[in-house]
């Protein structure tokens, strides 16, 4: 959006050629980093094997279709019309209802309570707008995914280690961005008192670990994928309709 592209479709130089297209001369690519992990079997010293997960990063240079000529016509399809904001908020409400999360309202703080497995949100009317409410709820929904029977993100040191707390909060902020984008929500959040301390903690984590942002993004994407997996399929929607 910042560069004026209307399509979310990207491809590598090689992919463009394979599709019969060509990246225009002078165009600059954008780095895309794929973060994941693979399982490797290792000897356990007792004649057996144990499986160990090894994280890895792989970088690519990608180009938006707007930078490529000669592609099949379907790649240049016009962007969908922007839906009515009310319709988008209603879709977000259905999305969170489908997650099965218990969401309570009251007080002035938003948080996830692991002991009771519920999300606490300030009253809806205290937010600047509906989009800001969705953004904060997305953030707290990320913390909820950390449970062992969900994506199993270890938060045992969350309350004891500022670095671990910063990592988890960074994951939640990234997930909120990813999920809001999926739902077509563009929040304009008012600065909160905790933002300054959060940013300071994030900067320290990122300075100490150059891979932290990629790890956080990978965890955030897993949380988003998990939440999407709780939504009814298209076929189920049709049956209900």
Q: Of 22-31, 121-130, 172-181, 195-204, where does mean pLDDT reach its minimum?
A: 195-204
Judged by DSSP in three states, 138 sits in helix
**pLDDT of 236 over the 80 cut:** no
Q: What per-residue confidence (pLDDT) applies to 233?
A: 75
Q: What per-residue confidence (pLDDT) applies to 234?
A: 45
Closest by CA to 11, choosing from 36, 30, 35, is 30
| pLDDT, tens digit (0-9, with 9 covering 90-100), for 27-77 | 999 999 887 778 888 888 787 888 887 878 889 999 999 999 999 999 987
Return the structure tokens found at 30. 């954008």
Which residue's structure tokens are 């270890």? Answer: 154
Answer positive or negative: Cα dihedral of 14, 15, 19, 22.
Answer: negative
Measured CA to CA, the distance from residue 217 to residue 175 in angstroms comes to 8
| pLDDT, tens digit (0-9, with 9 covering 90-100), for 161-187 | 888 888 999 999 999 999 998 998 887
Could you tell me the maximum CA-CA distance found in the chain, to the nearest angstrom? Answer: 62
19 half-sphere exposure, CB direction, 13 A CA radius: 20
- The chain-wide mean pLDDT, for the chain, equals 86
Task: Indicate the length of the chain as a whole number.
Answer: 241
Q: What is the dihedral of CA 150, 186, 76, 58, to 10 degrees?
A: -40
Q: What per-residue confidence (pLDDT) applies to 82?
A: 55
pTM above 0.85, yes or no: no
Q: What per-residue confidence (pLDDT) applies to 83?
A: 58
User: Among the ranges 81-90, 101-110, 205-214, which has the highest mean pLDDT value?
Assistant: 101-110
Measured CA to CA, the distance from residue 45 to residue 170 in angstroms comes to 38
**pLDDT of 189 over the 60 cut:** no
Judged by DSSP in three states, 32 sits in strand
Please give the backbone phi and psi of residue 102, each rounded to the nearest 5 degrees, phi first: -85, 115
Q: What is the dihedral of CA 208, 213, 219, 224, to 10 degrees?
A: 150
Q: Of 10-19, 40-49, 122-131, 190-199, where does mean pLDDT reach its minimum?
A: 190-199
Please give the backbone phi and psi of residue 53, each rounded to the nearest 5 degrees, phi first: -85, 130
Query: 33-60 as b/e, with b when 16 or more CB fall inside 10 Å?
Result: eebeeeeeeeeeeeeeeeeeeeeeeeeb
pLDDT class of 239 with cuts at 50, 70, 90 = very low
| pLDDT, tens digit (0-9, with 9 covering 90-100), for 95-117 | 999 999 999 999 999 999 999 99
Q: What per-residue confidence (pLDDT) applies to 65?
A: 96
């Amino acid at each position: 959006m910042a560069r004026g592209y209307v399509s979310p479709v990207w491809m590598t130089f090689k992919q463009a050629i394979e599709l019969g297209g060509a990246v225009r001369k002078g165009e600059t690519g954008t780095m895309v980093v794929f973060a994941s992990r693979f399982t490797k079997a290792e000897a356990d010293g007792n004649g057996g094997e144990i499986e160990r997960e090894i994280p890895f990063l792989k970088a690519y240079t990608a180009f938006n279709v707007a930078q490529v000529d000669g592609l099949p016509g379907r790649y240049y399809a016009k962007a969908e019309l922007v839906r009515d904001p009310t319709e988008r908020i209603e879709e977000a409400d259905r999305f969170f209802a489908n997650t099965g999360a218990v969401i309570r309202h009251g007080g002035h703080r938003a948080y996830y309570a692991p002991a009771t497995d519920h999300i606490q949100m300030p009253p809806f009317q205290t937010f600047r707008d509906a989009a800001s409410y969705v953004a904060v709820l997305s953030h707290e929904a990320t913390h909820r995914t950390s449970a062992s029977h969900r994506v199993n993100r270890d938060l045992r040191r969350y309350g004891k280690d500022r670095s671990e707390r910063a990592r988890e909060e960074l994951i939640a902020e990234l997930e909120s961005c990813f999920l809001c984008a999926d739902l077509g929500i563009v929040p304009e959040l008012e600065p909160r008192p905790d933002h300054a301390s959060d940013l300071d903690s994030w900067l320290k984590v990122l300075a100490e670990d150059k891979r932290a942002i990629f790890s956080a993004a990978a965890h955030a994407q897993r949380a988003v994928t998990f939440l999407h997996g709780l939504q009814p399929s298209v076929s189920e929607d049709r049956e209900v309709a």
